[in-house]
Amino acid sequence: MPEKPGGKGFALLAAQEETLFLPAYTSEKEIARRQGPRGRRAVLRLAMLHHIVVDDPRLSGVVINPFGVSLVLRRADLLTIEQTVTGMTHARVEHRGQAFLSPARCSPALTEAFTAALENSGMNVAEGYILTARAQEETPHLLFLIDFRGDRKLLFPRIADALRPHMPPGAMFELRQASPALLGAARQVALPVYKRDTLYH
């Protein structure tokens, strides 16, 4: 994918009815079909494209090779592919009201997978918590709360890939970047399962 000048995100494609799609290309030849400045490229896996779409409610999907023989993958298509390949799907959820947190009961294998993924993420991660979260009128679910600096679009797909083999079928879980308030609430009810020894630098 071509990056915007300055490396701040990717250009989007506007379709009919004011819908926006993320463009992706399979080769330099396909990229050359587009007009505009030539800049840096980013190579992304389909899981990353999926995560970008899920994380941005403005986006309707991905268009592969939009200026050639194109393939349109709408949000529902991406969810179907993920369900077929991994047996799980993830989607952005907007919570309403206050969230109630408590310590989570989970397998040692799940805890180990989470801590190893944070340790080996290559990102600036300070703490990680596994909690049970319940918002008003919602079913309780596992919340993997991570205090880190960086782009969640780079970290969250890696963490989700590490967790999937250890999650029970049909289980709901949430990955969330810790805000100061949420981090304070987590510290009141549980100990971190991961804590880096040194401070941010």
Percentage of the chain modeled with pLDDT above 90: 27
Fold of 99-195: GMP Synthetase; Chain A, domain 3 (3.30.300)
Per-chain mean pLDDT for the chain: 83
Give me the pLDDT at residue 198, please. Answer: 54
Give me the pLDDT at residue 94, please. Answer: 57
Specify the range with the lowest mean pLDDT, choosing from 89-93, 100-104, 155-159.
Answer: 89-93
Strand residues in the chain grouped as ranges (E): 13-14, 20-24, 59-64, 71-74, 99-103, 124-135, 141-149, 173-177, 194-195
Domain boundaries, the chain: 5-86, 99-195
Specify the range with the lowest mean pLDDT, choosing from 46-55, 101-110, 124-133.
Answer: 46-55
Whether the per-residue pLDDT at 127 is higher than 90: the answer is yes
Give me the pLDDT at residue 183, please. Answer: 92
Whether the per-residue pLDDT at 33 is higher than 60: the answer is yes
Whole-number Å distance between alpha carbons of 115 and 164: 14
